[in-house]
Amino acid sequence: MTAGALSHTESKQISILLGDGAGGFRAAATARVGTGPRALVAADFNGDRNLDLAVASTYAGTVTILLGDGAGSFRAAPGRPIASGASAIALADFNRDGRTDLAVATVSGVVVLLGEGAGRFRAVAASSFGAYADTIVPADLDGDGRPDIVAAENGSLTILWQTKPTPAVVQGRALRGRPDTVLSTRWPITDLAADGKRAAVAVSKSKNSCPGVGEQSGKVVAWTAPGRTSRTFRTGEGECAYQLALGDGRVAWIFGDCGNSCSDFVAAAKLSGGRVKEIEEADNGEGASGDPTGSYVDQLLGAGRLLGYNSWKVVCTHKNPQYDYCDRWGQRNDQLVRVVRGRRVVVKRGAGSHPLSAVGGGRMAVESAGAVTVLAAGGSRVASVAAVAGNPPRAIALSKTHLAVERTFTLDLYNPATGAKTRSLPLGAAAALQLEGVSAKLALLQGPRRLVLVRSSDGKLISIPLRPRAAASLVDAGLTSAGLFYAYNAAGTSSKGRVVFEPTAKLLGRF
């Protein structure tokens, strides 16, 4: 006899249908789950040889484990439902311990839940992983004996490779001495930029949304560590910054809003003070009208004396001959723009100008089709790194001494003046994290609730010991020649945002 389970999309239950062996089914029982059950899988989760169920409920944002008795009835497993905001779910033994694990597609990415027996599960340390999907399939795609994950959504396909077990990430040393330097902000922090000993944060009354029209604007707060003073700039009425950068003695940000159409602005202000200056306005129809035609700005980055971004236009390339509306668009007029003494200066146009991927050491890096080109401040080519077939850059960082390219399992270091590879450092389990910066001796990787440093001389990996409150609400981090900055939000206090600075000498002491 076979059995099936049906979910009721907007209800809080599923129905169990028992098969009669001849293609017919009869209802045996129902089981309560989270609101909006979307997907389910069946396996033996507690080792009693009976099939159990894991049910993903989209509206409730949960995965509920139901233990079967072998006769068509199910009871909830001990403990609470696993919160995840799930839309798809799949089975595999990811850590090869003989227990069934789960991969769950959620609103924040793919979460991997390791089975512990008795129907209990725990999320792996680095979850969630940055792939958004309505279908996920585990499979060993590289033949290493460990399941990987294929995630698909709206015609796009993402492969999540399971990381290698070595080299291991070890806990960084706890050091005695003065506590880390901290800047506090009254409002929650939404973004962070760092350069040298300076940091800037975007803040808003709500950490989840920008203010509305007529409400108090968001703000940008610039700080030089380890001082106690900061300078605050308003982003505009009803607006908050969603990209932030430091360079050219200025702090710059992109802000904007959308109605029937969208308007985005690049703005900048001197760190020494003065009025906020609008550098460029980009207007397009990517709002309620759904017409993308118009101009765009993006990829705002800065370091040292450089501050740059990309601008481009989207134009209609084909109109429906019968109904005379545009049904095909193309990108045109790509530009690499620098902000020089508060003015907009185009330094490169067309191919090789987009997207700007990193700025540092007086140079800029642009990645296209897997190849990375290092540009001088004026836009001329300095060096290039050829594309690696099947292993494109996942992230790029640039300093005076290193061009760092994060690939699937390695951090590859190149001489930014020549493009010659100097080292390829295996990342082990840290390959799941995102490259956020590089300096002369260190590289920084960031993931949910976690910061990992890579020592460039030997590839040793250490995790930065974060306080529980900082780990739980980590916003962003940046590595500069001076040290590490990271930002988090502290609920229930009058000063909601925190920026921590740890100098390079102290970071090296943690190894």
Reported as a single tens digit per residue, the pLDDT across 152-161 is 888 788 888 8
**Distance in angstroms (rounded) separating the CA atoms of residues 354 and 172:** 38
Q: Tell me whether residue 145 is exposed, middle or buried, using C-beta atoms within 10 angstroms of its C-beta: 0 to 12, 13 to 18, 19 or more.
A: exposed
Asked if 188 contacts 202 with a C-beta cutoff of 8 angstroms, the reply is no
Angle at 437 between CA 435 and CA 442, to 5 degrees: 100
Helix (H, G, I), strand (E, B) or coil at 469: helix
pLDDT on residue 238: 54
Are the folds of 1-169 and 360-510 the same? no
Distance CA 456, CA 441 (A): 5
Whether the predicted pLDDT of 20 surpasses 50? yes
Contact by Cβ (8 Å): 411, 452: no
Percentage of residues of the chain with pLDDT beyond 90: 61
- 231 within 8 A of 183, measured Cβ to Cβ: no
Residue-wise pLDDT tens digits, 273-325? 889 999 999 999 876 667 899 999 999 999 999 999 999 999 999 998 888 88
3-class secondary structure per residue, 263-313 = EEEEEEEECCCCCCEEEEEEEECCCCCCCCCEEEEEEEEEECCEEEEEEEE
Alpha carbon 154 to its chain centroid, in Å, reads 20
DSSP string, 188-222: -EEEEEEETTEEEEEE-SBTTBPPPTTSPPPEEEE
DSSP-derived secondary structure letter, 163: P
Q: Which of 53, 138, 65 is nearest to 96 (CA)?
A: 138
Q: According to the model, what pLDDT value does residue 97 have?
A: 92
pLDDT digits (tens, 9 = 90+) for 92-137: 999 999 999 999 988 878 889 999 988 999 888 666 777 778 889 9
Average pLDDT score over the chain = 89
37-46, 376-385, 453-462: least confident range: 37-46
Q: Is 464 a residue whose pLDDT tops 90?
A: yes
Alpha-carbon distances of 52 from 19, 112, 124, 134, 241, rounded to whole Å:
17, 18, 22, 23, 47
Task: Look up the pTM and report it.
Answer: 0.82
Residue 413 corresponds to which tokens in the numbers above?
A: 């270091």
Closest CA to 355 of 368, 337, 364, 345: 368
Please count the residues of the chain: 511
DSSP 354: -
Tell me what pLDDT residue 87 has: 83
> Is it the case that residue 6 has pLDDT exceeding 50?
yes
**Which of these ranges, 178-182, 201-205, 423-427, has the smallest mean pLDDT?**
178-182
At residue 1, the pLDDT reads: 43
* Cβ contact 427:410 at 8 Å: yes
Tens digits of residue pLDDT in 333-350: 999 999 999 999 999 999
- Backbone phi, then psi, for 429, in 5-degree steps? -65, -20
Structural element, H or E, at residue 506: helix 504-509
User: What is the helix (H) or strand (E) element at residue 471, kind and residue range?
Assistant: helix 468-472
Q: Please report the pLDDT score of residue 215 as a whole number.
A: 44
**pLDDT tens for residues 363-396?**
999 999 999 999 999 999 999 999 999 899 999 9
Task: Name which of 67-71, 268-272, 399-403, 503-507 the model is least confident about.
Answer: 67-71
Single-letter code of the amino acid located at 162: Q
SS3 431: helix
Q: Residue ranges of the domains in the chain?
A: 1-169, 185-351, 360-510
Burial per residue of 171-189, b for 16 or more beta-carbon CB atoms within 10 angstroms, e otherwise: ebeeeeeeebbebebebbb
- CATH number assigned to the domain covering 360-510: 2.40.128
Beginning with the edge strand found earlier in the chain, give each strand of the sheet holding 135-139 in spatial order: 135-139, 148-153, 156-160
Q: How far is residue 476's CA from residue 55's CA, in Å, rounded to a whole number?
A: 33
- Tell me, what's the pLDDT at 278? 94
Q: What span, in angstroms and rounded, lies between the C-alpha atoms of 385 and 405?
A: 10
**Mean pLDDT to the nearest integer, 497-506:** 95
**Residue range 1-169, CATH number:** 2.130.10.130
State which fold the 185-351 domain adopts: Lipocalin (2.40.128)
| pLDDT tens by residue, 196-243 | 999 999 998 765 555 444 444 689 999 999 888 899 998 865 567 889
